[in-house]
Structures are given as structure tokens and as C-alpha cells.
Chain A
Amino acid sequence: MIRRRCMFAAIPSLTLCTVLLAGCIPAAGIGGAKAELLANDETCVVIRVAEGDTSKSLYDALAVFDEAGDIAIGGSDSEYGFYLTSINGTEADNEHYWAVYTTLGELDGVSYSNAEYGTWEYEGETLASASYGVSGLPLAEDALFAIVWTSLDS
């Protein structure tokens, strides 16, 4: 009887926890897009696009999260776009760089990633090495982006 009562109490508690945890995932609106920050530490940042807007870039999403204080990005602007050199205090150096991976393959006849150049796994999903930098990757719906601290040797 007591076990059954406990189970009944556990179900709403679990539901409440799940709702609260889901609420903890930082999300941001970028134009017409909505992105969620799934992982965020000194070695990787993972962003999922819940609602797409291909006029906005991954850099726009990073900038919004940066402004909100969820992440800290560093780099410089160039004619090729934003050159990302640091995330959350981890700076690129002669032996490491911030590699960008994505599940976004081909969109309107343009290829945005290539698995031949490298892949990265995140919760059962395989992300391929991006063909563009953060300023050239559009926020397409359901696309997953990962920026990973990578050794040059790998």
C-alpha cells in the first residue's frame, strides 16, 4: 500500500522535475528561429534549432546566447565572417581549434557539411564536419550544431 502511494507520488514529482529541467535548457529566439543550448562547457557547445529561419546564422544564435550570459564567445570579424577563437574561456592555440559539426547536409543544392572530413557523435546522432564557418551556417529547422574543442592531430 505504502509502495503504491509512493509510486503515485513519484509520477507527478518526476513529471514536475522533467518540466522544470526542460525549462532549464537555455533557449533563445533569433529572428524567426528558436534555438536551444543542449550542452555547454569548456570543450563543447551543442545547439539544436527548434524552429528554423535560414536568414539567420549559427553565429547569430551564439551571439544571442553570449548576450544572455549563457556562453562566452571570443573571436574577430573578417570578410569571410566571424572567426571563432574562444568559447567559455578556452582559447584556440597552435595545437587546438574549435571545429564546427552539424547534421545540416544539403539545402537548396548547397552542401553545408561533409562526413569525410570528420564526424562527431552526440546522443546517438552523427554530426559531420561543417563546410562553412559559424557565419555561413543557416539555422535550418531540426539542425543540430556542435562546436567542439579539437586537437589538430585528430
Chain B
Amino acid sequence: MKRRGAAYMVAVCAVMTALLIAVQYALGFAAGVELVTVFLLTFCYVFGAAYGVLTATAFSLLRCFLWGFYPNVVVLYLIYYNAFALLFGMLGKRGKSVAVWVCPALLALLGAGCAVCAAVGLPVSVLYKARLTAMFWALFGVLAGLLAAYIIVLCVGRARAAVWREAASLAALAALCSVCFTLLDDVLTPLFYGYTFDAAVAYFYTGFFAMLPQTMCAAVSVFVLFAPLRKAFSAARGREVICRRRFRREQSARKRRREGENAASNDGRTQKDVV
């Protein structure tokens, strides 16, 4: 059973890793557009943390064959995606929806941060200020829209709306994770290349150009695609559960038969004799 389970796990994770690399490669030309977050999130949510961590590790290492081996990027991916897989794997395992307050709290926090940054203005090159401000307002708009959608779904309160409520909560968490990804990169890359403080600060601020579209994309894609992807992954997971149950039944039947044969050979009597 163990051997079959491990083989199945490796096969599932291998397929998922290939899917993630394909998704990242296919959308590589579009800056800021990425669907890796929603695919990995839903996969971890349905299959659990163990499958998620294995897939995240394989993805972090194998993608280097296409995009090159940059040690800081490998470390960043290994830390971030494994933590991501653990978080959403454990959330899925709980079997309960994310607490109602999590989504509005996160969205309000991120939205307020964007509004403050846009209003105050960051000490970044004069050439970047207008673009960065526009991006902050755009992300603020997306987060506000998501919050409004969540409140509407919360007010509807039907059982069907629970899926969308869950999607909105996970979208808020995914947006927060995308922000954390860039912040982690802002620490790792300057440390790895030995940037001066000024260069690290400049890198931090220009990092917003990558972070803002990615965060927007993560929030929107998780909100829209979580429900259909969850259905698809659950169907795949359901087949695995059926296979496992059938295998367990067959194995226990075989065990019972073997025990029966052994019992008969112990003292020379058959089961019938005992009865």
C-alpha cells in the first residue's frame, strides 16, 4: 500500500509540476500575468500540504532548466512556494471555511496600504512616480472591488455563495502572499549580491512595478478560477480516494484469507472444525 501510495503521489506531483511550468512558460511573455498562484493554491487546498510541498520543491528546481539557475531566485522560490504550499495545504485540510473576518481584514489592510502609498508618494525616481502612483490606485480599486464582492456574497448568505466566499477569502490571502513574495525578494536579492543600502532601497521601490500587477492578477485569478479548479482537482482526488478504498478492500480481503489459511495450519483443524 505504501509503495503504491508513494508512486501515486509522485505521479500526481509530477503532472502538477509540469502543469505549473507550462502555465508559467505560456504566460511568460505577459509581464505581471501569472496563474501559478491559483493553480498551486487550489492543488494544495485539495490534495494537502504534503503533495503541495513536493510539487512546490520540484517546480522551484525544475523551472530553472527553462529560466536559468540563479541562486537567489532558487532560494526565493524554495522558501516562498513551500511556505505557500504549507499554508494552503493546512487550510484545505481543516475542512472548514476561512473565518469570515479574514478576507475583509486583509483586503482593508492591503487597500489602505495602497491608498497611503499612492497619496503620500514614494521616494522613488521622478521617472517612476506617476506610473507607480497609477499602479497603486489600480490595485486599490481591485482590492476595494473584491471587498465589495465579498460583502455582497456575505449578504446573500446562501449555501452556493459559500464557495465564492471561500474564493474571496483565499483571493485575499493570495494577494497578501504575492506581496510577501516581493518583500522576500527585496531582502534576499540585495543580500545575495551585496547591494549598498541606497541600491537596496531603490530595488525595493522598483520592486513595486513587479508586485502590483502580480498582486492584482493573484487576487482576481484566485477569486474567478478557484471554484472551477477546485472542482477539477477534487474530481481527480476523488478518483484517487476510490482507487485507494478499492485497494484497501482487496488487501484486507487477501489478509483475511491468509489469516484463515494460517489458522487452519496451526493445529491441523479447519475453520469448519472450529465452528
Please determine whether A108 and B126 come into contact, CB atoms closer than 8 angstroms: yes
Please determine whether A112 and B127 come into contact, CB atoms closer than 8 angstroms: no
Is residue B141 within 8 Å, beta carbon to beta carbon, of the partner chain? Answer: no
- Residue numbers in A under 8 Å from B195 (CB-CB): 117
Please determine whether B199 and A131 come into contact, CB atoms closer than 8 angstroms: yes
Please determine whether B206 and A80 come into contact, CB atoms closer than 8 angstroms: yes
Please determine whether A111 and B126 come into contact, CB atoms closer than 8 angstroms: no
Instruction: Mark contacts of B123-135 with chain A using CB atoms, 8 A cut-off: 1 yes-contact digit, 0 otherwise.
Output: 1111110000000
- Residue numbers in A under 8 Å from B32 (CB-CB): 79
Contact of A137 among B123, B125, B196 (CB under 8 A): B125
**B214 to A, closest residue via Cβ:** A79
A143 to chain B: closest CB distance in Å? 13
**A136 to B, closest residue via Cβ:** B125
Please determine whether A117 and B125 come into contact, CB atoms closer than 8 angstroms: no
Please determine whether A135 and B127 come into contact, CB atoms closer than 8 angstroms: yes
**Given that A132-B206, A136-B206 are known contacts, is A107 also in contact with B126, CB under 8 Å in the complex?**
yes
Please determine whether A111 and B127 come into contact, CB atoms closer than 8 angstroms: no
A102 to chain B: closest CB distance in Å? 12
Instruction: Mark contacts of A123-144 with chain B using CB atoms, 8 A cut-off: 1 yes-contact digit, 0 otherwise.
Output: 0000001011001111000000
**A55 to B209, alpha carbons, bound, how many Å?**
18
- Residue numbers in B under 8 Å from A54 (CB-CB): 126-127
In terms of DSSP, what is the predominant structure of the interface of chain B?
Answer: loop
Chain A interface: which size bin? 20 to 34
Please determine whether A132 and B125 come into contact, CB atoms closer than 8 angstroms: yes
A112 to chain B: closest CB distance in Å? 7
Contact of A57 among B127, B198, B206, B213 (CB under 8 A): B127
Interface residues of A in 67-93 (CB under 8 A from B): 78-81
Contact of B209 among A79, A107, A108 (CB under 8 A): A79
Interface residues of B in 75-93 (CB under 8 A from A): none
**B198 to A, closest residue via Cβ:** A114
A-B pairs under 8 A by CB, number? 54
Instruction: Mark contacts of A3-32 with chain B using CB atoms, 8 A cut-off: 1 yes-contact digit, 0 otherwise.
Output: 000000000000000000000000000000
Is residue B31 within 8 Å, beta carbon to beta carbon, of the partner chain? Answer: yes
Contact of B196 among A57, A109, A116, A135 (CB under 8 A): A116
Is residue A110 within 8 Å, beta carbon to beta carbon, of the partner chain? Answer: yes
**B122 to A, closest residue via Cβ:** A110
Please determine whether B127 and A55 come into contact, CB atoms closer than 8 angstroms: yes
Is residue B191 within 8 Å, beta carbon to beta carbon, of the partner chain? Answer: no
**Given that A109-B123, A136-B125, A138-B126 are known contacts, is A114 also in contact with B199, CB under 8 Å in the complex?**
yes
Please determine whether B196 and A78 come into contact, CB atoms closer than 8 angstroms: no
**B210 to A, closest residue via Cβ:** A79
Interface centre among B32, B195, B199 (most CB of A within 10 A): B199
**A117 to B201, alpha carbons, bound, how many Å?**
14
- Residue numbers in B under 8 Å from A117 (CB-CB): 195-196, 198-199
- Residue numbers in B under 8 Å from A108 (CB-CB): 126
A141 to chain B: closest CB distance in Å? 13
Interface centre among B31, B123, B126, B213 (most CB of A within 10 A): B126
Give 8 nearest A-B pairs by CB, closest first: A136-B125, A131-B202, A114-B198, A79-B209, A117-B196, A131-B198, A79-B31, A111-B198
**A contact set with B: CB distance below 8 Å:** 54-55, 57, 78-81, 107-114, 116-117, 129, 131-132, 135-138
Q: List 18 interface pairs A-B (beta carbons < 8 Å), by A numbering.
A: A55-B126, A57-B127, A79-B32, A107-B126, A108-B126, A110-B124, A110-B125, A110-B126, A111-B198, A111-B201, A117-B195, A117-B196, A131-B201, A132-B206, A136-B125, A136-B127, A136-B206, A137-B125
Beyond A110-B126, A132-B125, 14 extra complex contacts between A and B, CB < 8 Å: A55-B126, A107-B126, A108-B126, A111-B202, A117-B195, A117-B196, A117-B198, A131-B198, A131-B201, A132-B202, A132-B206, A136-B202, A138-B126, A138-B127
**B contact set with A: CB distance below 8 Å:** 31-32, 123-128, 195-196, 198-199, 201-202, 206, 209-210, 213
